[in-house]
Chains A and B, each alone.
Chain A
Amino acid sequence: MRKFLVITIPIITLILFIFVMESDIFLKRSLGKNDSISESINAVINDIQMDDWDKAVQDTNHLSEVWKKIVRMVQFSSERDEINAFSINLARLRGSILAKDKAGAFTELYEAYEHWEDLGK
């Protein structure tokens, strides 16, 4: 009993803490269907390349939903600055799509992708 209290509980606790702090390794991967950030970003890039602005709006909304879902899971293992930067990129992307500004939209998308890659690193 003493061994369990003195050794096992602290070890299990530390392992659990390490898991929470490093959980982005598992949680950044797509867990279900259509919830991959990189795929969603690629979809918006394709839409803009094809000048399909209506589809780009739809895919940006989808990207926002996926982001909201994932951020809830990775927030414990990630830095706030990267999370905030990604959210700002999404807001600017909406503006660029509304103005049909291809260059601006691409800038935001690639920057968002970079922030996604750096999240939790």
Chain B
Amino acid sequence: MNEGLVVCVRSIISFFSLLIFTRILGKEQLSQLTFFDYILGITIGSIAATLSTDLSSRSWPHWIGLLVWAALGFLLEYITLKWRYIAKYLEDEPTIVIMNGKIMEKTLKKMRFRVSDITELLRNKDIFDLNEVDFAIIEPNGRLSVLKKPEFQNLTPKDMNIQKKQTGISSELIYDGILIEENLKQLGKDKTWLLNELKKQGISNISDVFIATLDPSGSLYIDLYHDHMTKITDIGDYKGPY
């Protein structure tokens, strides 16, 4: 028995099975990791690791374990998506811990949260004074959502009655020295327009451009391969091996 080869084959099976199953489970794994999702991830990972290296048993039962855990995770996700009532039961719901600036002690006790935990979460949100907080909510994933009192909220262009230009997602017109005509067409521009814009900035050749993007407001960003930087800031402290 060639153990190295067997581990190699089982690792390939484990790696790609895990990849396929987690893709089926969706992005929720990363963005809204609840405590249960966290444990689910650890368990599935642990089964995959055993499938890969525990040669004392066959790969099949471990793979079935992996499949069942992933299937149950998917089923739970599906149920919580379809039935709000069960979702509340299974995944919990947001809990208000500060209401109208007052800390809800009983709720904190019920959730086994200390006030120091709340102040820590607030500090993570750059809030160092409890006076600034109007509402604070613990989300099912353990994160704290905060609504500041109106006098402490950031000033927005709307508050100042300032009209701002519409922004949007930039499209790449040149990528790695190659013109992307499809995006150019989508924005209602042509190659001549782009060449003229490049000429205005002293660029004669498209292949000199590393990336060029255009946003819906008409702002063009151009970066060349050669940036002609004479002085580059070094943020390191000690000279390293590189």
Contact = CB atoms under 8 A, between A and B. Distances in A.
Given A20-B13, A21-B13, A77 B59 contact: yes
Given A71-B1, A83-B1, A21 B59 contact: yes
Nearest to A80: B55
User: Which range contains the number of B residues in contact with the other chain?
Assistant: 10 to 19
Q: Is the interface of A mostly helix, strand, loop or mixed?
A: helix
A80 to B, nearest CB: 4
Interface in A47-100: 71-72, 75-81, 83-84
Contacts of A78: 58
Nearest to A83: B1
Given A10-B20, A13-B20, A76 B10 contact: yes
B1 A75 contact: yes
B205 interface: no
A17 B1 contact: no
Contacts of B56: 79-81
B58 A21 contact: yes
Given A17-B13, A20-B9, A77 B58 contact: yes
Given A17-B63, A21-B60, A71-B1, A76 B17 contact: no
B12 to A, nearest CB: 8
A13 B17 CA distance: 8
Contacts of B55: 79-80
Nearest to B6: A75
Nearest to B64: A21
A1 B220 CA distance: 33
A17 B58 contact: no
Contacts of A71: 1
B16 interface: yes
Nearest to A77: B58
B3 A80 contact: yes
A80 B63 contact: no
Contacts of A18: 63
B16 A80 contact: no
Interface centre among B1, B2, B23, by most A CB within 10 Å?
B1
B16 to A, nearest CB: 6
Given A21-B13, A75-B2, A75-B5, 5 more contacts: A17-B13, A17-B17, A21-B59, A76-B9, A77-B60
Which 10 pairs between the two chains have the least Cβ-Cβ distance?
Answer: A80-B55, A21-B60, A10-B20, A17-B13, A75-B1, A21-B59, A79-B58, A83-B1, A79-B57, A81-B56
17 contacts: A10-B20, A10-B23, A13-B20, A17-B13, A17-B16, A17-B63, A20-B13, A21-B58, A21-B60, A21-B63, A75-B5, A75-B6, A76-B6, A79-B57, A80-B6, A80-B56, A120-B58
Interface of A: 10, 13-14, 17-18, 20-22, 71-72, 75-81, 83-84, 120
